[in-house]
Every structure is written in structure tokens, then in C-alpha cells.
Chain A
Amino acid sequence: MTKMLVGNVTDIDRKGSRTFKYNDIEIALFRLSNGEVLAVENKCPHKGGALSEGMVCGTKVHCPLHDWKIDLHSGVVQEPDTGCVITFDVEVDPNSGSVYLTV
């Protein structure tokens, strides 16, 4: 288990994302319109599309390559497609806005 400080909530636009590489995996951090920060592996199970580049709608992101829809809380691919992406635990310090992620 590794915990790291990845930045501040203000680094991520609402309905936007930021990415970083950790060991060999790329992680995408999303900030929803309600301010919630979520993290998933930046790799669509379909053709490996970068989910960070997709459109955030509610709690879901649309993969930019072929419009697969993935729930950012659970990592589950939405019907009619199937699959799952890895999710990571994220904590946000309500006072400072620091974002911590556990791998």
C-alpha cells in the first residue's frame, strides 16, 4: 500500500481530469461537477483509450475512442458493453483541498 499526495482539488477542473504515471500504470483523476474526486486506471478495457480525455457526464466518463461509458465510482463499463477498470481510493482534505491517493 502506498499513499501519496497527488495535488490539490484546484489542479483539476470540474468535469475534467489530470493524469500521472505510477510505476507502469497511468492513473486518471477526475473531478465531478459536485466536487467529488475519483481515480481509475487510464485505460479503457475496449481498446486502451485514455479515459482522461473523455467527456464526464454525471458520475460516468465516455471513452474518446468509441464512446464506451464507464462509471467512475465502480469502474464498471455500462451496458451494452461489458468490462471493468481498476479504481483507486481517493481522500480529499476538506480544509486544505489536498488530494491523497492510495495504490
Chain B
Amino acid sequence: MATNRKKLVMVGNGMAGVWAIEHLLKLAPDAYEITIFGAEPHPNYNRIMLSSVLAGGADMDEIIINDLEWYRSHNINLHIGHTVTRMDTKARKVYSDGGVEVGYDELILATGSNPFMLPLPGADKEGVIAFRDINDCRIMQETAKSYKKAVVIGGGLLGLEAARGLLHLGMEVSVVHINEYIMERQLDEAASTMLRKELEQQGMKFLLAKQSEAILGKKRVKSLLFADGSMVEADLLVMAVGIKPNVGLAQKSGIEINRGIVVNDYLETNIPGVYALGECAEHRGIAYGLVAPLYEQGAVLAKRLAGAPTEGYAGSVTSTKLKVSGVNVFSAGQFIEPEGSRALRYQDEIDGVYKKLVVHDDKLIGAVLFGDTSDGAQLFSMIKKGEDIKGREKELLLGISADALSSSPQNRLEGMADDEIICGCNGVSKGAIAEAIQSGGCTSVGQIKACTKASASCGGCKPLVEGLLQLYAGDAAVSVKEGICGCTTLNRDEIVSEIKRMELKTVKEVMNVLEWTNEEGCAKCRPSLNYYLGMLWPEEYVDEKESRFTNERYHANIQKDGTYSVVPRIYGGVTSPTELKKIAEIAEKFDVPMVKFTGGQRLDLLGVKKEDLPKMWEELDMPSGHAYGKTLRTVKTCVGSTFCRFGTQDAIGMGIRLEKEFERLTAPAKVKLAVSGCPRNCAEATIKDFGVVAIDGGWELHIGGNGGVHVRATDLLCVVKTEDEVVEWASAFLQYYRENAGWNERTSIWVERVGVESVKKALENREDRLALQERIQTTLNLTTDPWKQIVNEPELRKNFEPIAPIEIYK
């Protein structure tokens, strides 16, 4: 230890102080020799998480912020379990009750605060505690093992968190509060009432407007008596009525005290070389009891001690969140309307949502949120910045833009700016569509699509395009029957039934007979007809590769630069060292620019030249992963009972079996499966087209999920007992989807279109399921691995090679 360093001593080993030290070490790691005293026998821990410890969301050891190793590695002299009892600001020394005496150049007081204990008769009885530190938590946990009745005095933030924790420990809990409504310092009456009802549903009892008078019992607390003569039984009494800054030590040492230790904007007390921060400090008349201001103070103090420039601390706008599971409460700023301000309120008792905004001089000065607190952070930052919100008040309150609130969708379209994008896929603005109608003479959605590309890709904006057509063309708007593409007016069901009725067997035949307007169709109808014909006549129809998209024609994903990517099949996401080595060696041999893990537990070799594809496939000697096709992609699995301590079934085995069962299946759109080995659902099976979740002694089968464009959670199809039944239901479901969905229609959209009940009904009879399973088997039996086929057939392979011209003359 260098002796020329200045000596920095901190009294207090809590969140605010240690955070300032951490910050200081970053700014000036070698400036000080640091000594810290902490009265609690622990390293610095996160006091805020005590509620989570009680509620079972965290363990004691998980809430340690800086373990003893941290102090050691930063050469901090730590004295825990030592209370500093005396300081001499003249001699610049502090003395602890453990007999330690240390001199300082700079001294930080970070003594925090103490719980405020009501001076009631009997407050010294056994079973009367505060809710402040690890020790209080331990007492609660111990008490809950042998006693039943808990009473919490204090219906504020801390009291409610303590009460929630005690409920979690299995105790009966009554909350005593002196006011008519709870959390009155953070909530208005409406939000408070909603909160109380919610907590009552969770099992809390409330005794409101009750003045506590005495704690009764012999050695241990037995009951609490109120001023009105009523009483409540209690085996454990927790006082959570507030905190008071811990200023005893400072007071004895001639430091200026008000409610807390008085500090200026640089956290300096009236004594040179002595600073204070955190809950023990009072800045511009406010002693904060929340964490955010303490961090802000810590940053200023660290800069000050490191000699770095700082503008000082100007106080904090605070916000509150209640950490009680299942209850979302947020409040910030001045939530009770001060004189001259106005408030907007939104109260929905059906969904249990309440929102209140307080506005003064067109600025947001306060907010209360209950039920849905997702806007909290945004509103809080507006309050802090003092942003002007004129004209946006309703939008902030309702989360809907002001023009969306006007009377009709038509008005909304009218009020939309010309440069607002209607079609996100093709970047078509409202103005471009208006022009196509007004000067381009478009009178139908189809014409607008052909003219501007609006609604030509995903079709999500079609209602808006229709609305604009009504708006600008009015009566001239023609409603034209929309076909599957611009080449026909027939829809999917009409086409499929005509193919069946007339036994049409080729794409060309379908187009001729059904009078396509473009002789060879387009990039939309060709692949869809190819799919329908293959699905309807699996044994006769020969797949037309020239009617498939690039990716499916070349069995690889085309990238923006014309290179391709290769994803070999890795069943259930389980590989081996040998397989990995092989993949790695091939990636090196062919100079693959990037090797990436896919979201579906496989490896993607990206940036491969087209002519290298067949060579790589040959060397890989693995089946295609079909990462490019309207087919089964992958079956994602968790670890399952193979290794996982929670696994109830063999998820990996089930996943591999399903993948082997359905690989190479042609489908209307890509199909993703997943198998989770327990309800924790680590494989995210509930956002897959077909998801399997193991439960003890069975499997839940879920359908119609999607985690992509159209995020949708699955519907539960049924619960089965055996792996064979899983395969039977999966086969039946997939075949029913193949036979009834439109081309390019994912199960999520399809299930919503036809209704989950109709799918359940179609699959409820085992006879029907077996018939579907037989049909899917017929189809599957006819498939072969495309990579092998291309490798072995020169006629297919030639299309991957460039041709070599011979010059004749120049």
C-alpha cells in the first residue's frame, strides 16, 4: 500500500456509499487508501431485494452486491460488525465499538436510516420487529414456521411488501394503516382502492383508519389494541411505518442536522472533509428514501473526491414502483393535483387499469399508473425533462394517437399525413396511393397493387388501402373479386375444388382450364398451384422445380449478394464432437465467411458460392435441414429428462422422433415444431406451429403458435399419454393443415381463420386421425433427400455450375 495516498474513510457499508466508492475507483483507482465500517455482519447487499427474498424470488446470497472478494481485490480495509461510535473532526479520526481507530483525510457518512418504531407500550415484546435488514427477514422466515398470525403496521410501500412476503411464507396477514386509504404518499384514492382490492384478492386483510394504542401479550406479542377499543390478534408484529435518517453519530460531532445530515450540492456537510450521502443525508430540505437519488448523489460525490468536474447534485424527481408480484403500481412526481394544474384520468375496472396524468403549464408534472405500468419509464422521463406535451395529453393517457381517436377510420385516414407509410413492405406512402387513385385512375385494390405495390407483399395493409380507395374514389371504387394473384379472380378454395372436380393434373392444365390471364402465371400463383397439385395427387404429380422459389429450387437460402447458405439437419438440435469437427473442417475447406448458430438449434454456413453447394453437401453427407423451404424446418428441444433436474419426459427423444417423422414434408408454409420437457417450456413450444410440452405422465399438444410476423401463442389441442399418440396427433394435425390452408398461410393465421374449435372437431375421432395419418404417410414415403439427389444427378447438378464460353472472334 502506498503511503502517499490520501486516507478515505466511510462510515456505513450500504448501497449508496459503496456505489459511490465503486464509482470513485473507476475514476481514480489509486487516489485513496479506503477504509469502510459496516454495522451489519454482511458485505454490501441490495436492501431493495429483501422483499424478493421474502417473497421467495431470490436467495440471500443472490442479493449480495459486493462480496468480500471485491473489497479484498480493491485493497479496501473492511470492518464489518463494527459500529462507529465516535468521531473527532478536529483530529480527523473515527473510533468503532470494536476498538478500531482510523485517521482520515476525507470522511463519508453513509449511515443510512433506521426503521421508525412507534413508541407503543409493549413495543419491546418478542415478535415485534421492523422490516429493514437481513436479520428481520430471517426472523420472519423462522416465525412463519411455528406461528400463523402476522400484523403489519403501515400500509405504505414497505408495509405492503412485508405483508406480501409474509403471505408467501404462509401466514395470515392483516395490514393496519392510520389513513383511510393505503399508499397515500404514492397513490391517489382511486388507484389506492384498486390496489387494496387486488391485494385483498391475494389474501391480505386491511384495518384502515386505525390508530394503534398498545401491544399486548406476556413475553411475546399476542394482540394489538387500537384507540377505538377494538383489537387484532398477532403472533408477529412488523412495524413498517417509515424510516428516519440515522444521524446520531453526526449529531454528537457538531455536524449540522435537520431531519438528516445537511449537505450542499456537492454532498459536503458544514465540517470540511466530511461528506454525507444516501438516506442519512438531507439535500435542499429533502431526505430521500429511494434508491435512484442515492445513485445520483453517489456519482456526484465520486467525481468530487476524484477531482473530476461535476455540476453538483440538484435533487431528484422520484418515481415509485411496488415490488409485489401480480400487482403493477407506478407513481411519479406530483400525483395529487396542486393548485392550477389539471388532471386526466382513465379508469377501467374490467381490466383493472387506472391511469392519471397531472399537467401544469402544458408540462407533465406527475403520473399514477395501476394495472398497466408499461408507460411508466416514458412518462417519468417526460416529467424529469419537463417536456411540453401540449396536444399530446390524450395520446399519453390512452396510448392511442390523437387522430386515431377521431370518430371514424375514414377520418383517421383523412387526417393522416401524405408521407405516412401505408405499406411497410414496399414503402408506399398515403400520398402515392392517393395519386394512383386520383391521377392514375385506379378504381380497385388490385389496380392500386399493380400500380404502386401497396398490399402486394404481406397484405397486412389491405384494409387501409381499401379505406383510401373509398376516400378518394368514392362511388367510382369498383369492388373486384380478388383472386390468389393478379392472374386469376379465383380464390384458393375455388381453385382446389376445381382441380379435384376436373382432375386437373399439371400447372399448365390448371391455368388453361381455369382461364388464367397470364399464360404462365406469376411468382405467386405458380408455387401455390405446384403445392396444391402435389398435396392433392401425391402419387402422380411430379413436382415442378421451375415453379418453386429460388431457395427451394436450389435447396439453400439465397442471400443479398447472390451467395447461399447451408444448414444441415441436426435432429432435435443434438450433435456430436465428430459431426462438429466435420462441419468445421468443411467450412474451412470452402472458405465459408461466416458460421452462425440459427435460432432453431442448428448451424448456418453463410456466404457459400452457388457452385460450391453440391460439393459441400457431398462432403457433409448430412440430410438437408430444409432451412429454406415451405416444409418442416426444425424441431427445437430443451434438455428434458435426459439431463435436466426438472425434466418430466424425454424431450430430446420426442423431438428427434418428430423431426425424423416429418422431415421433407411439403407444406403450405414453413412449419416449426418444439418439444419442452416440462411446463417451464424452455423450448418455447407455445409459439410454434405444433408445440409439445411434457407434463408429469403425459404431453400437452399445442397448435397455431408463431413467434414471427404474426406473434401468437398456441391454443391447447389436447393432452395425450404416449409418444405414439403425440406422433398420431401431430400427423393428423399437419395433414389437416396441408389439406385446408392456403399456400403461404402459416398455421397461426389459418387457425384464427377457421377457428380452433373446427380444427379440434376435425381431429376428435380417432378414425379420422388415422385416415389423415395414412395420407401424410403416403406423401412422406415418396420424399427423398434433395441434397443427395442433386449430388447424384448430373442433370440437376449442372444448374449449379457456370458455363464456359469459347470465343470465336473478336
Contact = CB atoms under 8 A, between A and B. Distances in A.
Interface of A: 1-7, 11, 13-16, 18-22, 29, 33, 47-50, 53-58, 62, 64-65, 67, 69, 79-81, 100-101
Interface string B538-559: 0000000011111001100010
Most chain A beta-carbon contacts within 10 A, residue among B522, B804, B805: B805
Given A5-B806, A33-B520, A57-B523, A79 B450 contact: yes
Contacts of B808: 3-5, 100
B147 to A, nearest CB: 70
Contact of A64 (B547, B549, B802): B549
A50 to B, nearest CB: 4
Contacts of A22: 805
B104 to A, nearest CB: 67
B502 interface: no
13 contacts: A5-B805, A7-B803, A11-B798, A11-B803, A20-B805, A33-B520, A55-B547, A55-B549, A57-B518, A57-B526, A58-B519, A64-B549, A79-B450
Contacts of A79: 450-451
B554 A19 contact: no
A80 B453 contact: yes
Nearest to A6: B805
B809 interface: yes
- 8 residue pairs, one from A and one from B, having the closest CB atoms: A15-B546, A62-B523, A64-B550, A50-B562, A6-B805, A58-B520, A4-B805, A53-B550
A89 B806 CA distance: 16
A29 to B, nearest CB: 8
Interface in B527-574: 527, 546-550, 553-554, 558, 560-562
B803 A20 contact: yes
A11 to B, nearest CB: 6
Nearest to A58: B520
Contacts of A7: 803-805
Which of B453, B546, B809 lies at the interface centre, i.e. has the most chain A CB atoms within 10 A of its CB? Answer: B546
B807 interface: yes
Given A4-B807, A29-B803, A57-B520, 5 more contacts: A6-B803, A20-B804, A20-B805, A22-B805, A57-B526
A67 B553 CA distance: 16
A21 B801 CA distance: 12
A101 B560 CA distance: 28
A7 B808 CA distance: 12
A78 B562 CA distance: 22
A44 B271 CA distance: 76
B558 A20 contact: no
A100 B568 CA distance: 39
A4 B806 contact: yes
Nearest to A1: B810
A41 to B, nearest CB: 13
Size class of the contact patch on chain B: 35 or more
A64 B550 CA distance: 6
Contacts of A49: 562
B546 A13 contact: yes
A80 B804 CA distance: 36
B799 interface: yes
Nearest to A62: B523
A29 B562 CA distance: 16
A58 B803 contact: no
B452 interface: yes
B429 to A, nearest CB: 14
Given A14-B546, A58-B520, A80 B450 contact: yes
Q: Which of A15, A55, A56, A65 has the most CB of B within 10 A?
A: A55
B803 A18 contact: yes
B802 A80 contact: no
Contacts of B805: 4-7, 20, 22, 101
Contacts of A16: 546, 799
Nearest to A47: B560
A50 B805 CA distance: 19
Nearest to B801: A18
B799 A18 contact: yes
B614 interface: no
A31 B109 CA distance: 85
B17 interface: no
A7 B805 CA distance: 7
A17 B775 CA distance: 35
B521 interface: yes
A13 B560 CA distance: 24
Given A13-B546, A64-B550, A55 B523 contact: yes
B290 to A, nearest CB: 52
Given A18-B802, A33-B520, A100-B808, A55 B450 contact: no
B239 to A, nearest CB: 68
Interface in B432-471: 450-453, 456-457
Contacts of B550: 53-55, 64
Contacts of B523: 54-55, 57, 62, 67, 69
Contacts of A18: 798-799, 802-803
A73 B701 CA distance: 53
A1 B560 CA distance: 32
Most buried by A among B521, B523, B547, B798: B523
Contacts of A67: 456-457, 523
A11 B810 CA distance: 24
Interface in B757-804: 798-799, 802-804
Contacts of A19: 802-803
A54 B547 CA distance: 10
A27 to B, nearest CB: 9
A6 B810 CA distance: 14
Contact of A56 (B546, B560, B562, B799): B546
A2 B810 contact: yes
A10 to B, nearest CB: 10
A66 B497 CA distance: 31
Contacts of A15: 520, 546
A55 B526 contact: yes
B353 to A, nearest CB: 42
A57 B521 contact: yes
A20 B801 CA distance: 9
